[in-house]
């Protein structure tokens, strides 16, 4: 008599399923965000384009870090301009 007990799901399969579910939730959240903020769609397209060419996961993280740093510097420049304008207005 054969025993037909189903084998439990392997941990690697469970991890892959959980990772896929997380990815799907993150992608859905991104789409909702972009629908609410359509002016950011062009920037997201640029991010996707650059990440597609970045290769490994480590490369993708490096690219994201560089892109974030660039945006932070851009924001700092704009903040400096605003500070100068406010000082001039207050005088």
Per-residue pLDDT tens over the stretch 1-51:
444 454 455 666 777 888 899 999 999 999 999 999 999 999 999 999 999
Q: What is the pTM of this model?
A: 0.60
Give 80-87 contacts, CB < 8 A, sequence gap 24+: none
- Contact yes or no for 13/26 (Cβ under 8 A): no
CA dist., res. 2 & res. 12, Å (int)? 27
* Contact status, residue 56 vs residue 63, Cβ threshold 8 Å: no
What are the pLDDT digits (tens) for 48-91? Answer: 999 999 889 999 999 999 999 999 999 999 999 999 999 999 98
Sign (positive/negative) of CA torsion 79, 80, 85, 91? positive
């Amino acid at each position: 008599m054969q025993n037909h007990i189903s084998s439990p799901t392997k941990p690697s399969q469970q991890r892959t399923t959980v990772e896929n579910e997380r990815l799907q939730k993150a992608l859905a959240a991104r789409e909702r965000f972009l629908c609410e903020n359509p002016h950011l769609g062009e920037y997201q397209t640029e991010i996707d384009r650059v990440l597609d060419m970045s290769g490994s996961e480590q490369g993708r993280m490096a690219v994201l870090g560089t892109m974030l740093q660039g945006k932070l510097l851009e924001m700092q420049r704009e903040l400096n301009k605003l500070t100068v304008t406010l000082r001039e207005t207050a005088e």
